[in-house]
Chain A
Amino acid sequence: GAGVSQTPSNKVTEKGKYVELRCDPISGHTALYWYRQSLGQGPEFLIYFQGTGAADDSGLPNDRFFAVRPEGSVSTLKIQRTERGDSAVYLCASSPKVTGELFFGEGSRLTVL
């Protein structure tokens, strides 16, 4: 289909390792959002991009988290020195513009052992 695609769907890693989570938005959508959903919680805003630039990264929990969108399409969320508390489902969403309906992917489930 032509929805938001996220890879990997599941990632198990060890504490201290580096991980990358990829998001391929709907073609033509200029805005891309990353959210994180921990167990029993609602999605929590991390960062959003308008085009190639990060318009608001105020939700990133600390400097171990970083995200890029170099060509204004695919985005990668990077987590350094993973901790057990990073375990969550990382959701990516896109919208045709900054406002308007948000289309979510199925998420990448990260488990840090």
Chain B
Amino acid sequence: DQQVKQNSPSLSVQEGRISILNCDYTNSMFDYFLWYKKYPAEGPTFLISISSIKDKNEDGRFTVFLNKSAKHLSLHIVPSQPGDSAVYFCAASGDGGATNKLIFGTGTLLAVQP
């Protein structure tokens, strides 16, 4: 069973607008969440993370929101840029980030149209 779910395989957004990528999880023991970005033929790169003790974390154009009661998190990118076009993976761990043993979602392909 998929413990981390990204139900939207793809998303298309106009340059300058907001991109919202969603992620749901089923395991209430997860307490640390991350987003990774992946370009074709490259490995994933870390983008932003959030601990379960917070409900929001912001880094420049990227903000992650966590709703623990709904077991849902989202990544907001504002404003979106063509260089943001990539696959975005949501990931979770149950050890508070003590290790990088992560459970990944299936990814969402973001296309930012110029």
Contact = CB atoms under 8 A, between A and B. Distances in A.
Give the interface size bracket for A toward B: 20 to 34
A101 B46 contact: yes
B91 A93 contact: no
Interface of A: 4, 31, 33, 40-45, 48, 55-56, 59, 91, 93, 95, 98-107
- Most B-side CB within 10 Å, residue of A45, A93, A105: A45
B43 A42 contact: no
Interface residues of B, number: 21
Contacts of B91: 42
Interface string B82-114: 000000010100000111111111110000000
A45 B46 contact: no
A104 B43 contact: yes
Contacts of A41: 106
Contacts of B41: 106
A56 B99 contact: yes
